[in-house]
Amino acid sequence: MAIIGALRQNGRASNQQIAELLGLTATTVSTRIRRMEDADQLRVVAVSDFTAHGFNVLLRISVSVEGRPASDVAHDLAALPEVVAAHLVTGSYDIDMLVALEDFDDLAEFLLGKLSSVRGIRTLTPAMVVDIITYNFDVAPIEGKA
């Protein structure tokens, strides 16, 4: 848990830096990180800012599916380069997705061009993201239950 906490604070920290912080050896840190990665408990990734890469429009789109399994439609949608995340969900819709576009000029082509080519979409409900309050990159809460 302490190694993960150190990586959350500084994902670029070396094993030696983490070892010094935690009072361990660099070999121990390296071994534990490798073990967690091998067990699919940890993945160290770089995360970039949408706007820093020229994406100024963020959409949340809810999708209702008809005539095809929602999972198949979700996989087709996830293959589109503009789709940042696609989730199968319960409730009024079958799929929720997050889409990043460079500007509003791309909106019509994405909604009417690319999405219209995906078979099985019954309805789309797009919502413009107007402000990001939090965007937490932690994949899973790792703190133990009390």
β-strands 57-65, 83-88: how paired? unpaired
The CATH code belonging to domain 2-38 is: 1.10.10
- Statement: the pTM of the whole predicted model exceeds 0.85: no
* Delimiting residues of CATH 3.30.70.920 domain(s) in the chain: 51-128
What pLDDT is recorded for position 93?
Answer: 97
Question: At 62, is the pLDDT very low, low, confident or very high (cuts 50, 70, 90)?
Answer: very high
* Delimiting residues of CATH 1.10.10 domain(s) in the chain: 2-38
How far apart (Å, rounded) are the C-alpha atoms in residues 112 and 114?
6
Q: How far, in Å, are 63, 64, 72, 82, 125 from residue 111 at the CA level?
A: 12, 14, 19, 11, 10
Q: Residue for token digits 């994406």?
A: 55
Tell me how crowded residue 134 is: count the other CB atoms within 10 A of its CB.
4
Picking from 142, 43, 125, 128, the residue whose alpha carbon sits closest to that of residue 91 is: 125
Question: At 138, is the pLDDT very low, low, confident or very high (cuts 50, 70, 90)?
Answer: low
CATH class, domain 51-128, is alpha beta
Question: At 140, is the pLDDT very low, low, confident or very high (cuts 50, 70, 90)?
Answer: low
What pLDDT is recorded for position 80?
Answer: 96
